[in-house]
Amino acid sequence: MINLGYVIQASKISDFEPALRELLEPKKIIARNESCPCESGKKYKHCCGRIA
């Protein structure tokens, strides 16, 4: 078993599947000119993706 920092309680293996899919699915790459996922209304490059 791999410790991913999450506690998952289940009585059957099938109960683990949705949680594991969410943890293991690849993350969407955000382009700099797309709107920011924090829903501020700004472009990503001017919000959370800003280079300090």
| Mean pLDDT estimate for the chain | 78
- The DSSP secondary structure of 1-52, one letter per residue, reads ----S-----SSHHHHHHHHHHHHSPPPPPPTTSBPTT-SSSBGGGTTT---
Q: Is the pTM of this model over 0.85?
A: no
The predicted-structure confidence for 9-26, as pLDDT tens digits, reads as follows 656 667 777 777 777 877
Q: What is the pLDDT of residue 8?
A: 57
**Residue 42: pLDDT over 90:** yes
